[in-house]
């Protein structure tokens, strides 16, 4: 999310917590705002300050923020630092108390929306915008105490209705004016929502370059800190928290390194076990040379299963020898014996393995067991 649309929590130990709503109202801003409010409630706060510099944005996201603001159960004091335009003015009016910097502007107008599609789609969008306008009218009416007809005529009249702090105070839209840091403002005729917004965004960007840890969105749970053995809590100073985080990072890096080394050693140990068992089995003539590589690959991570397999085996006799012996006894035909003598790989390459399987399932089964260790 770009910096201009990020909601940032500022925790000042001796004052009320503040949420900066600096930027365009969108889904990310809405989510960030809801997270901030939930965090403040979790910490046990009953009151907070909301500072605004926003030219508005998505109506649906603004409605979600307004709902969170009104239903959270905490007292909200609103300070308009730069501009509160369009949907941002609705959020400003949700505050228990509303103050404006003497350099700030408040702007109200009809909601705007676009749509494409069928005639039915366009009508549905128009109905939606009408509904938002009705909701905005209700918010403005509740704040000012004026009937809806006057609200529509003064604030939702098809124009961008700007108010300076003095004008807003005279119109009883706000509860007071405060002195912000003095800054150059253009003539009234040159003012618009974008211009005022950018003036205060630039000012805020300069402040951010000097910001300390108290301005960083940092959630440090005291219980979690205790569990991790950091020795710090939410009330610790910035330097202590930064030091604890660096120490945790160093510990995590060291753990990852040691864990990787142990994993490598375990794998090497398992591989050595498998090799030792297969070497012994080959020596005892329980497996053939060809089986050695096959079984090594099959059981490279499972020495226990390999051990069971080898224990169940007797002394290895090549398939060719077995079949030749069986041929002498009249069990297999000469054709089968000749095919077996070619070996597994040759039969697979020539396609004769299928013929062998048809001619003598028993010979095929013996070759398969010799090759893969399974029947």
Residues known to be catalytic: 86, 109
DSSP three-state, residue 58: coil
Structure tokens at 308: 């069971």
DSSP letter at 158? S
* Rounded-to-integer distance, Cα 100 and Cα 61, Å: 23
Cα–Cα distance for residue pair 65/34, rounded to 1 Å:
7
How many helices and strands (H and E) does the chain possess? 16, 8
Contacts of 313 (CB under 8 A, 6+ apart): 281, 286, 287
User: Do 205 and 6 form a contact (C-beta atoms < 8 A)?
Assistant: no
Of the candidates 83, 73, 104, 93, the residue with the CA atom closest to the CA atom of residue 175: 93
Place of tokens 């211009």: 195
């Amino acid at each position: 999310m770009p910096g201009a649309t990020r909601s940032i929590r500022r925790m000042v130990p001796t004052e009320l917590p503040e949420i900066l709503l600096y930027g365009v109202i969108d889904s990310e801003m809405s989510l960030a705002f809801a997270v901030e409010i939930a965090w403040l409630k979790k910490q046990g706060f009953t009151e907070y300050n909301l500072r605004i510099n926003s030219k508005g944005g998505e109506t649906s996201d603004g409605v979600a923020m307004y709902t969170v603001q009104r239903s959270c159960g905490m007292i909200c004091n609103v300070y308009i630092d730069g501009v509160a335009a369009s949907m941002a003015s609705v959020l400003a009016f949700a505050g228990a108390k509303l103050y404006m910097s003497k350099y700030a502007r408040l702007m109200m107008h009809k909601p705007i929306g676009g749509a494409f599609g069928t005639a039915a789609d366009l009508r549905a969008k128009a109905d939606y915008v009408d509904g938002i306008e009705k909701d905005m009218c209700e918010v403005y009416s509740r704040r000012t105490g004026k009937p809806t007809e006057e609200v529509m005529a003064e604030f939702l009249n098809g124009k961008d209705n700007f108010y300076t702090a003095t004008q807003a105070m005279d119109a009883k839209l706000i509860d007071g004016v405060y002195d912000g840091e003095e800054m150059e403002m253009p003539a009234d005729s040159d003012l618009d929502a974008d211009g005022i917004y950018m003036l205060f965004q630039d000012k805020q960007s300069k402040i951010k370059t000097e910001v300390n840890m108290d301005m960083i969105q940092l959630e440090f749970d005291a219980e979690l800190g205790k569990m991790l053995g950091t020795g710090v809590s939410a009330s610790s100073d910035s330097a202590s928290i930064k030091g604890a985080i660096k120490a945790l990072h160093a510990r995590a890096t060291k753990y990852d390194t040691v864990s990787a080394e142990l994993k490598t050693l375990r794998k090497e140990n398992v591989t050595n076990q498998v090799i030792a068992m297969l070497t012994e089995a080959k020596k005892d003539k329980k497996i053939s040379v060809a089986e050695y590589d096959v079984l090594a690959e099959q059981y490279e991570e499972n020495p226990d299963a390999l051990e069971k397999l080898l224990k169940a085996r007797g002394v290895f006799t090549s398939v060719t020898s077995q079949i030749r012996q069986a041929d002498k006894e009249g069990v297999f035909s000469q054709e089968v014996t000749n095919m077996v003598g070619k070996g597994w790989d040759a039969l697979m390459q020539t396609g004769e393995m299928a013929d062998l399987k048809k001619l003598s399932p028993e010979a095929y089964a013996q070759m398969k067991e010799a090759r893969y260790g399974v029947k």
